[in-house]
Amino acid sequence: MRKPVPGWRPRPTRSSRAVAPTACRSGRCPGRDGEPDISLLICLPKHAATPAPAIYDIHGGGMIVGDNRFGLVEMLNLAEPMGMAVVSVEYRLAPETPHPGPVEDCYAGLVWVSDHAHELNIDPLNTSSSAVRAPAAA
């Protein structure tokens, strides 16, 4: 199911290329309760007020497909006009990691970003989260 569909190519769209002038780097944070570390993609605006507001992104894919770069271009395009940072979490996927593993990974990343907001130059009081969808559904 995770293999690309043969012969299918996404149509180019206006949002298919990032317009956001950002500096992206990989980061890691500890998982909850001894679980494996979690990969984060941290994209900070180059020309924004500091500290910057942020979007904590949990990629789509129903907790079974995707990675922390899935939908990133669209998220960066959404954040850029407002000078926002984007932090995208790479959670473990089901069925290899059953529920609540992927949700716990998302939460652990969110807590880590909140705890390290000052180091990341992110404003912890002015941060949005797509994290509301997945844990709320779980």
- Would you state the pLDDT for residue 6? 62
Q: What are the tens digits of pLDDT across the range 39-85?
A: 999 999 987 667 999 999 999 889 999 999 999 999 999 998 888 99
pLDDT reading at 110 higher than 90: yes
The Cα–Cα gap between 122 and 92 comes to: 25
**What is the DSSP code (8-state) at residue 95?**
T
User: How many Cβ atoms are within 10 Å of 132's Cβ, its own excluded?
Assistant: 12
Q: How far is CA 33 from CA 1, 104, 108, 120, in A?
A: 30, 9, 10, 24
Q: What is the pLDDT of residue 50?
A: 79
Angle, CA 34 vertex, CA 53 and CA 63 arms, to 5°: 60
Strand partners, 29: 38
| pTM summary value | 0.78
User: Around Cβ 111, how many Cβ atoms within 10 Å?
Assistant: 13
Name the 3-class secondary structure at 6. Answer: coil
Taking the CB of residue 7, how many other CB atoms lie within 10 A of it? Answer: 5
